[in-house]
Amino acid sequence: MSAAGVVRLSRSATSVVAKAASGFHLLRIDGYSQAKTVLPGEKISSTGFTVGSESWRMDYYPNGRDAAARSNHASVYIQLTDDRTRRPVQARYKFSLLDHAGNTAYELPAETGSFTGMEELEHLIRDDFLVVRCDVGLTEMTCSRLAADEIDNWEDDDEGGEAEEGYFGAPTYYPPHPGRGRRRRQPDDTEYVKWCLAQRPGEPRIRQGR
């Protein structure tokens, strides 16, 4: 094989899928009249819950988060609990109080953690229990290899040689050759791009050239 017949070709493609993930968690506090006697800065925490691929926790502060002074507002926060999460996570969240029927009795503006004044809050409490609902939404990205094509010492069929088998994540093409049946060859760049564009996330890969 002459040096002129040697072609080094490297092609690859990545698929990134953006999907919305959402969910909610309820924090029910029974014996609220006792819970509100905790000191400022002390919290009542929910168990962990999962929205998307992240783990979360609700922290409710009956007398505010500031331990230095008694607040006239209760506060609630949402926290990431997975120590393995090293990157920033941007989430949309909303807190609301529910009545006994599960309906929204009071709703905070989106991404706000300070409830109404203490006296107004207690007018919403019945039978000494409080239910706080937290709705969470975020966008998750899934990245995967769509196709790869790294071929060494590949000789084009037009030169009359056999196409050496390289690595190709997409199916190998088998186009017809008049008078000599089907022969194995790799797709050219145009075919490669068209194959990548024809793929659909979550569906079986399309086989071509059959």
Hey, what are 136's tokens? 């969470």
User: Which pLDDT score, from 0 to 100, does residue 95 have?
Assistant: 93
Angle ∠(191,195,198) on CA atoms, nearest 5: 140
Point out which residues pair with 15 in neighbouring strands.
144
Judged by average pLDDT, the poorest of 9-23, 118-132, 165-179 is 165-179
**pTM (global) more than 0.85:** no
Angle ∠(123,24,42) on CA atoms, nearest 5: 55
pLDDT tens, residue by residue, 48-69? 999 998 999 999 998 888 877 7
B/e letters for 1-40, b = 16+ CB within 10 Å, e = fewer, are: eeeeeeeeeebebeeeeeeeeeeebebebeebeebbeeeb
pLDDT tens, residue by residue, 72-125? 788 899 999 987 766 778 889 999 999 888 999 888 877 666 666 677 777 778
User: Which pLDDT score, from 0 to 100, does residue 31 have?
Assistant: 94
- Is the per-residue pLDDT at 44 higher than 60? yes
Computed on alpha carbons and rounded to an integer, the radius of gyration of the chain in Å comes to 30
pLDDT tens, residue by residue, 129-153? 899 999 999 998 888 887 776 433 3
Q: Structural domains in the chain?
A: 3-16+143-198 (no CATH), 18-141 (2.60.210.10)
User: Which pLDDT score, from 0 to 100, does residue 136 have?
Assistant: 95
Residues near 195 by beta carbon (within 8 Å), at least 6 away in sequence: 147, 170, 187, 206, 208
The alpha carbon of residue 149 and the mean position of all alpha carbons in its chain are separated, in whole angstroms, by 28
Smallest Cα–Cα separation from 133: which of 161, 174, 99, 87? 99
- Please state, rounded to an integer, the average pLDDT across all residues of the chain: 76
